[in-house]
């Protein structure tokens, strides 16, 4: 079964994900698209600022990045501001129901899926059906030395408010024993609102917080509340 055939039915396994990332065609596509996006950024007068990423130098990878989510531009900003040694081995969890071609008949979705994989090392996860398979895939990626970007809210915020974080992240953090780095992104909603494709002039600001570890005796809900509060604290101090 090919990667595309597998992805049309369910999120692909870690081995298939990394095989696609290593594809020469995808690497070439990534280089070209990132060059175009850099030109678009300059032409549209978009900029971003980051703070706290120096903390990453003290953390052994891989890690789990947990960020709020306002816009599709969030992912690009996160990946672009990560230190190079992180960026080259960080994958982004994307909603399977949003990006995947469920029955293999949509050429448009196949192209989108290929492009998001090329630009951001994105891979699809299940957020509607049982998440067990997706959790195992992310654990496998972490074991293979890949850091992961997750949006625990489960979807983009249409108002900028941070929604309650879902519990899947806690399971991954507990089983993998990897730290969670909270991230707060602000400004994406103004730069690239929903249903727009051309960014507007503006600045996206991103903050990296201190790593959080799952503590002995801590429940999943308690850990998720700590991660959520860490992101909200950065939002309140921006």
90-142 per-position pLDDT tens digit? 999 987 655 555 555 667 777 777 788 888 898 888 766 667 888 899 999 99
Q: What is the mean pLDDT of the chain?
A: 88
**Percentages helix, strand, coil for the chain, rounded to the nearest 5?**
50, 15, 35
The residues, any chain, with a CB within 8 Å of residue 148's CB and separated by 6 or more, are 62, 64, 65, 90, 91, 92, 93, 138, 141, 142, 172
Q: Identify the CATH number of the domain defined by range 3-236.
A: 3.40.1130.10
Least confident of 30-34, 51-55, 127-131: 127-131
Domain spans, the chain: 3-236
177-197 per-position pLDDT tens digit? 999 999 999 999 999 998 888
* pLDDT band of 8, cuts 50, 70, 90: very low
Q: Take residue 119 and report the two structure tokens written for it.
A: 């630009």
What is the model's pLDDT at position 175? 92
166-176 per-position pLDDT tens digit? 988 999 999 99
DSSP code at position 65? E
């Amino acid at each position: 079964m090919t990667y595309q055939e597998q992805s049309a039915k369910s999120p692909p396994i870690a081995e298939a994900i990394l095989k696609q990332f290593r594809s020469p065609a995808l690497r070439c596509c990534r280089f070209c698209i990132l060059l175009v996006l850099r030109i678009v950024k300059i032409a549209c007068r978009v900029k971003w600022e980051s703070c706290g990423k120096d903390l990453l130098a003290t953390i052994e990878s891989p890690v789990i990045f947990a960020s709020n989510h306002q816009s599709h531009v969030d992912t690009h900003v996160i990946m672009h501001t990560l230190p190079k040694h992180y960026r080259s081995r960080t994958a982004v969890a994307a909603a399977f129901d949003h990006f995947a071609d469920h029955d293999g008949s949509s050429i448009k979705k196949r192209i989108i899926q290929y492009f998001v994989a090329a630009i951001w090392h994105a891979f699809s996860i299940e957020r509607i059906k049982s998440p067990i398979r997706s959790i195992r895939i992310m654990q496998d990626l972490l074991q293979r030395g890949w850091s992961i970007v997750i949006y625990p809210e489960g979807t983009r915020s249409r108002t900028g408010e941070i929604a309650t974080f879902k519990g899947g992240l806690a399971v991954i953090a507990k089983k993998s024993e990897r730290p969670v780095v909270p991230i707060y992104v602000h400004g994406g909603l103004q730069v690239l609102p929903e249903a727009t494709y051309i960014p507007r002039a503006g600045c996206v600001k991103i903050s990296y917080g201190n790593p959080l570890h799952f503590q002995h005796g801590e429940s999943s809900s308690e850990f998720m509340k700590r991660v959520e509060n860490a992101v909200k604290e950065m939002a309140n101090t921006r």
